Structure 1
Amino acid sequence: MKHVIQAALEAGQEIMKIYDTDFDVEYKEDESPLTIADQRSHDVIKARLQQHTPEIPILSEEGQHLPYEERKEWKEFWLVDPIDGTKEFIKKNGEFTVNIALVRNGKPVSGVIYAPALDTLYVGEEGKGAYKVQSVLGESEERALEPLPLSRQDTQTIRVVASRSHMSDETEAFISELEDQYDRVETVSAGSSLKLCLIAEGVADYYPRYAPTMEWDTGAGQAIVECSGGIVNVAEEETPLLYNKPDLLNPWFVASR
């Protein structure tokens, strides 16, 4: 995993070079914002992964999206989102991430998420658990590896990851059901794949996602959640999210612990 972590850290450093400037924003065909930082991050990650694991293909949001006829034979592949939360990047609120997952037989088995503006790293590896590191690039005495989930003082309050300003009817119904079951239900908010990290940390109990996401948005986060003992299932089903589907769009899902 060292080379994967290094790839994420190097990509994060490239991103920050642009984040700290007055950058230009372009728009993709679907009108989602694209900055030069996306491409630089992609290039760094691709080069690092190909250097260490040239035999493993890469599926990146900013790379070439091969048709399913070519992808369907993949037993394992790297799933990459060079910048998750581009809107957060443009708003300069710091809540954007670099996501790298290793998917094997449709299941994300390891994941690395790095939030460069927060200098915070999350790692999950099947069979080895998950952990969080803050001040990754700081002085060594500042760094502390924290196994996930973290200990939590208030276990009486149920916390749900949800947008306070843009909540779907389905999410409101989900929260309403919880309020019927528990005395105290609160919502917490975060950008990008940091939402899944809140579940992995144990800071939140549920993350209902009744809105579109793509495979690269969730692969690394799902690996970290599951390696921390949590669950990421298709909404209304007892089946986990699967990857390398003919359509790379995810179904609705609920992450929980």
Structure 2
Amino acid sequence: MDIDKNLQTAIEACLSAGKVIMNVYDTTFDVEYKDDKSPLTEADKRANDVINSYLEPTSIPIISEENKQTDFSVRKAWSTCWVVDPVDGTKEFIKRNGEFTVNIALVDNGKPIQGVIYVPAFKTLYFGDVKQQKAYKAQLSSHDEPITSVIEKAEHLQPKTQPSQMVQVVGSRSHMSQETLDYVEAIKDEGNAVEIVSKGSSLKFCLVAEGSADVYPRFAPTMEWDTAAGQAICKAVGVDVISKETNQSLLYNKENLLNPWFIVSKH
């Protein structure tokens, strides 16, 4: 397997961030709340510092949830940028259910072209390269695993090839929005049975990319750093992330970093 230099850097950054995240996870940690009431822990800050230390030497500018955001008057000149969420699923981190991730994507002219998602609690790594049209999953034994070992353990991701009568929809067990419930009812009206598959953070994208679910409708707010890595991994295996506003793929490094609603599916 030939891994692009930037993709290798992103993988190594994710693994190192995962290590410091788990160091915090295994302690009694404090939770702060940002202005928008979203939670922040020491893990977010430490992981962000580690990721910046890997990505800054590439000289590619960085959009990270935990960095001070660069004004759009400057960002709009960026043809390429990193889009980073040091801990996606901080609420899952606080609940200690393991369903949180490190997300790093490389975006070129608004489109994610490489993505890495690391699940440090389970040492599971997903990565994809859109140009090569390949994405992989590797089950690691250590956060310190060298890239040669990651490549050895990497297995191709394959989304579902045939739609089945049982449509697996990625959603929340506890609080599905009315719009999502309506979407599920519409699938049922077409004569299909529906199973709700629940996962936290950007793992929802991975479920569709690896064939564990058919569709992920997201009719609730997300930010670019929540979705860029997942979109790259999905796109690398032919799964689209389509905006409900434009009916086109989600775009990145927008003036407003808030995403429109979207649907992730192959069909």
The TM-score normalised by the length of structure 2 is 0.90
Q: Report if the CA contact (8 A) 1:76-1:102 is conserved.
A: yes
CA shift, 1:217, in A, is 0.4
Q: Report if the CA contact (8 A) 1:80-1:99 is conserved.
A: yes
Residue aligned with 1:83, SS: strand
Per-residue CA distance 1:69-99 (angstroms, 9 max, x = gap): 1100000000000000000000000000000
Structure-2 residue corresponding to 1:101 = 105
Cα distance in 2 between the residues matched to 1:122 and 1:255:
17
Across the aligned residues of Structure 1 and Structure 2, the Cα RMSD in angstroms comes to 1.9
Residue aligned with 1:173, SS: helix
CA shift, 1:145, in A, is 1.8
Alignment of 1:174-189 (within 5 A): 174-189=183-198
Residue aligned with 2:154, SS: strand
Residue aligned with 1:34, SS: strand
Letter in 2 for 1:175: V
Match of 1:149 among 119, 143, 158: 158
CA shift, 1:150, in A, is 5.6
Letter in 2 for 1:137: S
Structure-2 residue corresponding to 1:34 = 40
Structure-2 residue corresponding to 1:169 = 178
Residue aligned with 1:62, SS: coil
Q: Report if the CA contact (8 A) 1:158-1:182 is conserved.
A: no
Structure 2 residue 231 is the aligned partner of structure 1 residue 231: no
Report sequence identity in percent.
56
Match of 1:78 among 43, 57, 82: 82
Letter in 1 for 2:81: F
Cα distance in 2 between the residues matched to 1:231 and 1:150:
11
Residue aligned with 1:225, SS: helix
Cα distance in 1 between the residues matched to 2:141 and 2:209:
18
Q: Report if the CA contact (8 A) 2:159-2:237 is conserved.
A: no
How has the CA–CA distance of structure 1 residues 26 and 57 changed in structure 2, closer, same or farther, with 3 Å as cutoff?
Answer: same
Letter in 1 for 2:123: D
Per-residue CA distance 1:148-202 (angstroms, 9 max, x = gap): 1167899442100011110111101111111112432111000000011111111
How has the CA–CA distance of structure 1 residues 182 and 137 changed in structure 2, closer, same or farther, with 3 Å as cutoff?
Answer: farther
Structure-1 residue corresponding to 2:204 = 195
Structure-2 residue corresponding to 1:221 = 230
Letter in 1 for 2:98: G
Structure-2 residue corresponding to 1:133 = 138
Cα distance in 1 between the residues matched to 2:141 and 2:235:
23
Residue aligned with 1:14, SS: helix
Q: How many residues align?
A: 254
Cα distance in 1 between the residues matched to 2:161 and 2:124:
19
Structure-2 residue corresponding to 1:249 = 258
Cα distance in 2 between the residues matched to 1:105 and 1:130:
21
Cα distance in 2 between the residues matched to 1:107 and 1:154:
27
